[in-house]
Amino acid sequence: MEIKRDVFQAIADPTRRKIIGLLATQSMNLNTISENFEITRQAVSLHIKILEQCNLVSIRQEGRERICEAKLEKLNEVHQWTEQFSIFWTKKLQVLKQVVENSPKTPSNLPGNQMSQATKNTKIR
Amino acid sequence: MEIKRDVFQAIADPTRRKIIGLLATQSMNLNTISENFEITRQAVSLHIKILEQCNLVSIRQEGRERICEAKLEKLNEVHQWTEQFSIFWTKKLQVLKQVVENSPKTPSNLPGNQMSQATKNTKIR
DNA sequence: AATTTGCGCAAGCAAATACTTTCATACAAT
DNA sequence: ATTGTATGAAAGTATTTGCTTGCGCAAATT
């Protein structure tokens, strides 16, 4: 239930990203997931545990099977984090660079971001 | 120049995400970046190297300084990967679940995703 | 009742990660 | 020329990661 793990860390592993893609299409049990990978069932089980720990997957017991269901709302966190930098892959970038580099001492005319703490003691050379 | 590292892995580390946020506001040299963190300059230098290896940061020499500049287009890859699952944090989810679970054998009525390979030998129990 | 299936747990291991400290080098300022 | 500054490179270390093999157990099938 509790979040013990960073969602960014969870999706860092390519196998886990594949598992996510797999479960997004439909829920399935652990063995069925494992059949899609070269690694052992136990290894997959570990990945699933990690995904569960950061609420990307929920598991329900059904007889002796454990059905894994994607619950990817948490990925919104990642989506939003990247969103704030989307300016870097749009045409606005050129304009922005000019604005920032030509304005004398106001690097704060950027769209809202989450770096207030990190930036607060930045020394401008 | 070449991509030696996964961008998902690069942003898995919270320190690197902070560095990205920092550099997004303005370019700065290595020491200035380090001043924003508790860890040593060398540790930051390593993080920068990793960010450089997956093209999230470019470095130009200026006298004895190395100016690090954000070059975050690569984050678009992450943005798009999460985008395909955005259905999970919108109201469409409820509807989708019904559609998928009530249609007998067609889990392929999902929006385009990149799991063709992973899914191709999925056994449906 | 015996066997198969689905799965967790634990121990072990090699490699990677995230640092550190120490040293060396090149440019800059005095 | 000497000193200070910005940095890399290397070596060492503790921790984490991703995986394996081997075991046991409970539910399902025969």
Total structural domains within chain B? 1
- The secondary structure of chain A, three-state, reads CCCCCCHHHHCCCHHHHHHHHHHHHCCEEHHHHHCCCCCCHHHHHHHHHHHHHCCCEEEEEECCEEEEEECHHHHHHHHHHHHCCHHHHCCHHHHHHHHHHHCCCCCCCCCCCCCHHHHCCCCCC
Range of the domain at B15: 7-75
pTM of the predicted protein model = 0.76
What is the structure's pLDDT at A30?
Answer: 96
Position A88 in a domain: no
Within 7 Å: CB of B6 and strand D? Answer: no
Instruction: Please check whether residue B59 lies inside any domain of the structure.
Output: yes
Please give the pLDDT value at position B98. Answer: 67
* B125 falls within a domain: no
> Which chain A residue is nearest to residue B108, measuring alpha carbons?
A25
Give domain status of residue B115, yes or no: no
Cβ contacts of residue B25 below 8 Å, gap of 6+? A107, A108, A110, A113, A115, A119, A122
CATH assignment at residue B28: 1.10.10.10
- The CA distance from B25 to B96, in Å, is 39
- Say yes or no: B8 contacts chain A, CB-CB below 8 A: yes
CA A120 from chain centre, in angstroms, equals 26
Residue A80 has pLDDT above 90, yes or no: yes
Distance B97 CA to D9 C1' (A): 55
Residue B60 within any structural domain of the chain: yes
Given this model, what pLDDT does residue A91 score?
Answer: 65
Mean pLDDT score, A61-88: 95
In a domain, A39, yes or no: yes
Average of per-residue pLDDT values in chain A: 81
Residue B67, helix vs strand vs coil: strand
pLDDT at residue A42 tops 70 = yes
pLDDT of residue B12: 97
pLDDT at A69 over 60: yes
Q: Report pLDDT digits (tens) over A11-30.
A: 999 999 999 999 999 999 99
Q: Does A114 have pLDDT greater than 50? A: no
Of the candidates B98, B125, B122, B101, the one whose C-alpha atom is nearest the C-alpha of residue A63 is: B125
In whole angstroms, C14 C1' to A92 CA is 47
Q: Mean pLDDT, consecutive 10-residue segments, chain B of 125 residues?
A: 78 97 96 96 97 96 95 95 93 64 52 36 32
pLDDT at B5: 82
Positive/negative CA dihedral, A54, A56, A61, A65: negative
- A107 within a domain of the structure (yes/no): no
Judge whether B12 and A109 are in contact, CB under 8 Å. Answer: no
Nearest-angstrom CA–CA distance, B113 and A44: 21
Residue A121, chain B, CB below 8 Å: the answer is: yes
Considering only residues A76 and B95, tell me which one the structure prediction assigns the higher pLDDT.
A76
